[in-house]
Structure 1
Amino acid sequence: MTEQVSKQLPLPSAELEVGASFRPRLGDLALDLAKAGRIGVVVALPSDTSASYQLRPPGGGEDWRARSDGRTLRPLPVSVTHVTPLKREPVYDHRARQAAVPVTVHYEDGDTCETILVLTSMQVELYYLQFDQLIEAAETAREHELRSGPC
């Protein structure tokens, strides 16, 4: 009898409508496709008195306007600086042959997000070997420090 492997199903998420526009708020950074990907800070929103977004380069400079429907605007992604493991037990799903390691993702703006790092069984074995080498290197360094004394 052949064992069936279940695939990991994606988490349910809100569906974005086709052509959905980005609706930035005051102070948000936005990328404007109509201006060849120019980045600007939103300094004014569409209103009764203004029929468009007003943007300004982050370091100052000449303002420009973008469509009021936000169709040409895109959010500017914040870069990830690093990922750290959480102090929770990893879980191995033998049917999917995957491990789930709880981690925190740290962003450039100081924000964080808790998620999981999914590893295949082959990746778990590879990291087992690599971590074993790291532990051995750390022990060797510690022994060297103890023999040579404090700096």
Structure 2
Amino acid sequence: MAEQTSKQLPTQSKDLIAGTPFHPRLGDLALDLAKEGRIGVVVALPSDDSASYQLRAPGGGVDWRARSDGATLRPVPVPVTHVTPMRRDAVYDHRAQQAAIAVTVHYEDGGSCEAMLVLTPAQVELYHTQLERLLGARESARERGR
């Protein structure tokens, strides 16, 4: 069962300007913190005629404006498609009581990155049991196929 995390509380608008501003280009997707994390396509850039970014929901709808300095805008993360283990030994840190497995995270755009899957002792035991069951099912399928 997945652990639940607490919901993030709304921030005050003065706190939204912290961090590096994002300056999207025309057609980019942007997440607007001032609009509760709403995602939009940039349809107009700040210019002499317009003092703000203009965004529109990807499926269409009512346009909205975002600050011209990009302080409330963030890039939209590329979705993860899957994660695969790497051919490296798993490590157990007895002080932290955690196991770590090197993995590759694969993204929808074809990109990937290396990361660590960190497991508690209870999770290690759970996956040990599940992997044993999978190995048994695989062996049974092989025997039936002979």
Query: Fold conserved (TM > 0.5)?
Result: yes
Stretch deviating more after TM superposition (53-62 or 116-125) = 53-62
| Larger Rg, first or second structure (1 or 2) | 1
Give 2:45's aligned residue.
45
- Is 1:105 the counterpart of 2:100? The answer is no
Provide, for residues 27-48 of structure 1, a one-character-per-residue CA deviation record: whole Å limited to 9, x for no partner. 3212345557553212333245
* Alignment check: 8 A CA contact 1:51 1:68 kept: yes
Give the secondary structure class of the aligned counterpart of 2:89: coil
TM-score (norm 1): 0.68
The answer as to whether partners of 1:84 and 1:103 remain within 8 angstroms in 2 is yes
- Greater Cα offset, 104-113 or 68-77: 68-77
- CA-based RMSD of the aligned residues comes to 2.6
In structure 1, list runs of 5 or more residues that go unmatched.
Answer: 1-17, 147-151
Give the corresponding residue for 1:123: 123
Task: Look up the match of 2:86.
Answer: 86
Instruction: Please give the alpha-carbon distance, in whole angstroms, between the structure 2 residues aligned to 1:76 and 1:122.
Output: 34
The aligned amino acid for 1:119 is L
How many Å apart are 1:110 and its aligned residue? 2.8
TM-score, scaled to structure 2: 0.70
Greater mean alpha carbon deviation, residues 62-71 or residues 131-140: 62-71
> How many percent identity over aligned positions?
69
Larger mean CA deviation between 47-56 and 113-122 belongs to: 47-56
- Conservation of the 8 A alpha-carbon contact between 1:24 and 1:42: no
- The match for 1:54 is 54
Q: Residue deviations 1:98-122, cap 9 Å, x none?
A: 1110011222333322110011122
Q: Does the 8 A contact of 2:24 with 2:30 survive in 1? A: no
Residue segments in structure 2 that go unaligned for 5+ positions in a row? 1-14
Give the aligned length: 129
Deviations 1:2-56 (A, max 9, x none): xxxxxxxxxxxxxxxx432641421321234555755321233324553111223
Q: Secondary structure at the match of 2:22?
A: coil
SS at match of 2:129: helix
Q: 1:12-23 residue pairs with structure 2 within 5 A?
A: 18-19=15-16, 20=18, 22-23=21-22
Q: How far apart, CA to CA, are the structure 2 residues paired with 1:36 and 1:98?
A: 35
Given that 1:24 and 1:30 are in contact with CA atoms closer than 8 Å, whether structure 2 keeps it comes out as no
